[in-house]
Amino acid sequence: MAEEPYDHVIYFDNAQKHIDEAAEDCPQIYAVKVPHKSEVATLIQMENPEFKAFLDTLGTNTYVSFLQAMLGKKPSDMYDPTSGIQAKEINIYNEWEAKTATSGTRRALILDWDRTLTQVEGFILTQHAMTSFEDNGIVNYWKNKNMLKDPLPEAVLLEDTLLYLFGGKERLTMIRNWLQSVAEKGIKIIILTNNAGCNFKVFREMGAAVLPSSGQHKFICSGLMFNGNKGDALKSEIQMSKLCPQLEMPVFGEQAWLNNILNQATINAANGGRRTTYKRRRTVKSKRKSSRRLKRKQQR
């Protein structure tokens, strides 16, 4: 039941590269490019007027205090207020939802994390997979590494981190309400991300605090398994089989190896069970070496 293939999938990502990868490998997935300032995210100093105005709307925020304690005098981050899903993208989703509601029952919404759900590329939490927002794990982790400057933050709160990463309360609420309505339609939500923290506990805690608790959701960590190629990650999912052309076993390699074994077995049988011995083939490198030696000899 759980592994039944999807009939319709919509996918949002800010990176054109990943939209192209999905279009190539899974042409039946409806891939939507989310805006951003530039393909490669740029660092902006927190004293930049636009960034500062945003930080002022947050008021006291434990994640911002933590960043300042980590980054020192001139903290900066890859904040991009032009990025991320907005009402326009939610409308695109709504149109897709209405169009696909009557044909096929299995549907999924795929979302990139950085600058698609969030408006900041990346995050600093910890480098340890099992650190948690609970028990002050993040501050303790960096304190032990002597990486925090005064004033030391007391704790990093999960909600503060989300408010910062998602561009403030209004947008965070909009995303939460939207995803709640997605889950209520029985549409599965999949986070597809190359973020290196994808398997980390803090990342899953953030996901759980944004995604609806009622619906099923899933994470695909394409950075670890697929060298960051999201098309490869998608087509390897059995549930995408209706939307991505099927993977085929490469004929070279495996097939040649198998034929070799089968031939060898036949030769062995013909030899009355004796193993055939082979002379080691000279490699190209060793051939080059010996021809060089020969040349040197000739020159002498």
Applying CB under 5 A, the residues found at the interface with Mg ion are: 14, 112, 114-116
Q: How far is the CB of 116 from Mg ion (least distance, A)?
A: 5
Shortest distance, position 189 Cβ to Mg ion, whole Å: 16
Smallest gap, in angstroms, from Cβ of residue 218 to Mg ion?
18
Q: Is the dihedral of CA 234, 235, 238, 243 positive or negative?
A: positive
- Nearer to Mg ion (CB atom), residue 14 or residue 229: 14
Tokens of 73: 């005098």
- 10 Å CB burial of residue 124 (0-12, 13-18, 19+) is middle
69 versus 217: smaller Cβ distance to Mg ion: 217
Nearer to Mg ion, 89 or 112 (CB): 112
Q: How far is the CB of 153 from Mg ion (least distance, A)?
A: 27
Q: How far apart are CA 46 and CA 163, in angstroms?
A: 16
Which residue's Cβ has the minimum distance to Mg ion? Answer: 114
Name which of 116 and 131 has its Cβ closer to Mg ion: 116
Is 113:193 a contact under the CB 8 Å cutoff? yes
End-to-end CA distance of the chain: 77
Question: 14 vs 239, which CB is nearer to Mg ion?
Answer: 14
Cβ neighbors of 294 (< 8 A, separation 6 or more) are none
By the 8 A CB rule, do 186 and 211 touch? no
Written as six digits, the tokens of 59 are 């008021």
135 DSSP 8-state letter:
G
Q: Packing angle between helix 201-210 and helix 169-184, nearest 10 degrees?
A: 80
CB of 22 to Mg ion, least distance (A): 13
Question: Which of residues 142 and 232 has its CB atom nearest to Mg ion in the complex?
Answer: 232
**Least distance to Mg ion, CB of residue 18, Å:** 8
Which residue is associated with the tokens 């939507």? 32
The two structure tokens encoding residue 250: 């490469």
Shortest distance, position 200 Cβ to Mg ion, whole Å: 17
The token duo for 44 is: 């902006």
Residue 168 region by backbone torsions, left for phi larger than 0, else alpha for psi between -120 and 50, else beta: left
The smaller minimum CB distance to Mg ion, of residues 68 and 116, is found at: 116
